[in-house]
Amino acid sequence: MEARERLAALPASSLYARLKAAGWGGAVVLSTCNRFELLLSDTQKPAEEMRRWLADFLAELTGAAVTPWLYTHEDGAAVEHLFRVASGLESLVIGEAEILGQVKAAYEAARTHGAADKTVNVLFQRAFNVGKSVRTTTLVSAGRTSVASVAVTLAERIFGELSQSAVLVLGAGKMAELSSRYLLGSKVSKLYIANRTAQKAVELAQRFQGEPVAWEKFPELLASVDIVIGSTGSERPVVTKAMVEAAMRQRRGRSLFFIDIAMPRDIEEGIHTLEHAYVYSLDDLRAIVEETLSRRRGEIDSAAALVRDKAKEFAAWLDAHREGRQVGLKHGTREESRIENRESRIGNRDEESSMKLRLATRGSLLAQTQSKWVAERLREALPGAEVELVTITTTGDTLPVEKWGTEGNKGLFAKEIEEALLAGQAEFAVHSCKDLPAVLPKGLIIGAFPKRQDPRDALISSGVKLASLPAHSKVGSASLRRQMQLVLLRPDLEYIAIRGNVDTRLRKLTEGECAALVLAAAGLNRLGRAEVVTEFLDPAKVVPSPGQGALAIEARADRADVLKALALLDDAPTRAAVECERLFMAAMGGGCRMPLGAHARLKDKKIEMDVFYSPGGADPGRHMSANRAAGEGAALAQELAMRMKKR
């Protein structure tokens, strides 16, 4: 990002002058919030020499080596890349419309500086045509697909409904305009707009029911607003650490969130170190973007196919042009009916009542029990539906139990099952939600969370509760999360790793390998073994794993018929709680080897969550709790993750 900032700050005139002096026949500089690219044409230099020159040129401009971030495309690959860029397929937010205007502006700048030769002229006209075709013949741009819209989505996740939130937008350009439009749609309580050119701020505020603010006065608003969106074209940060320090003294502990969608950045880097100040950059928006991709995966594939066809046509024209032959370019598309055909295939499937579904599952007793329970519930909801269990062996099933590891191996029992879903070998799968990584593979989503079982951990012993176990007693659990929280309660006990299925662990207890075991209560309940429980542990003191006690039913995102059927099993309170927990896990870097717990629940029109995290080493870990209004689970997860990371 630092390199992009330096390049974005360079004057276009000096760049074009240097490119001309280097002997390039045609050149276009494309600089956006997410990229800095040079499109160069007609030089006699060998390809390898060109790449070396480009690396040296950019390194000189940035003052640092850029090789780790440098990518090059040549001939047909370069053509396809430009078409993908113009179509929004290479954007931070796939399908966003602003990029086509930015490509046009870059081309016009090249013409102004006399850097557009014939190849550049024809290529960019073609790119505009392809970009427009992609947006009119596919649904790749459906929904919120701009950087500004994702920024507002992030604001909604932080605060839930924005009707009680005051927002300050810095800038009055295209991104500021889009942000204001989406904020108006979200019914923010107050919208302030500040810009160096006061008249532009006034005009934008009038259009979107906001209040214009004199540029020199905006620092005063930092003491009262909830969110600041930075979208100016400044070469330097416009919000400084000193400004925010002064504002935080007046805020009395109230959090202030910055969403920086400018390039170069508007928010000074050191601000994120201040207590109760939270900064989100363009790179932080990627997690939200990833969530939307699976829903539009089919449209993205259609758009990519159209781009490939058009790139091949242009590459043929370019070859002919270089050889002095005259070849025309077609302007039609071959993708007009792709969307209709896909929807027709979905619509012509059998009605849900006569569906034949394959359920992918592991072969363990618990997995089979859970899957059979889901299959039976689905048959009850869809009389006449056929559900067949397909047993799949996972990596976790083949590894010796001593190699299972701890929470770091989330996904150990899911990878092969997910591969089977993507390959079409099954329509859906049932998982213990706590075994799923925070981020699912592209193309898969969780179609349903049935009503949650008991999320607590359970202690099993000869009848002795945790508080009464003799000092130095051995307590068996393979989970670092459990061990580190139990140490806080009983540091005088010895905690050992005992792995295997439920029966194996219970046998080891009976054989005297330990004085007590700690297992998930839900698994014991589902296996009909609840009678062995001595004590259920307080989930505020021994916080469960994210998703513990819940089942997750996973399916392909493009199977609308399957998802419609699975929705019959979805329990809204369970989904709200589990998604909050999984968002916290993702924000903390879920999937890494970390002792982490999260337990959310809905109560009195609020969502509450207890969390635990230990970074390892000598740190014993820490507990935190918070609550927000129901529907603000994502904001709650983000708040707790940010607080936990700052501790």
Q: Which residues are annotated as catalytic?
A: 33
Helix (H, G, I), strand (E, B) or coil at 152: helix
Question: By the 8 A CB rule, do 411 and 552 touch?
Answer: no
8 Å CB contact between 574 and 450: yes
Q: Which residues pair with 629 in a beta bridge?
A: 606
Question: Number of helices (H) and strands (E), helices first, in the chain?
Answer: 23, 21
Cα–Cα distances (Å) from 497 to 155, 494, 517, 547, 618, in that order, read 42, 10, 10, 22, 19
Look at the alpha carbons of 433, 435, 437, 443 in this order and tell me if their dihedral is positive or negative: negative
Question: Which residues neighbour 283 within 8 Å (Cβ) at sequence distance 6 or greater?
Answer: 1
Geometric angle at alpha carbon 645, from 642 and 647, rounded to 5°: 110
Which DSSP category does 400 fall into? -
Distance CA 203, CA 226 (A): 23
DSSP per-residue codes, 212-262:
EEEGGGHHHHTTT-SEEEE----SS-SB-HHHHHHHHHHHTT--EEEEE--
- Kind of pairing, strands 166-170 and 36-41? unpaired
Sheet holding 622-629, edge to edge: 596-603, 606-613, 622-629
Is the CB of residue 166 less than 8 Å from the CB of residue 192? yes
- 174 in Cβ contact with 127 (< 8 Å): no
Residue of 647, 369, 640 lying closest to 524 (CA atoms): 369
At residue 24, the 3 state secondary structure works out as coil
| CB-CB contact of 270 with 241 (8 Å) | yes
Q: Tokens 């007693």 correspond to what residue? A: 473
600 strand-pairing partners = 609
Cα distance between residue 357 and residue 642, in whole Å = 42
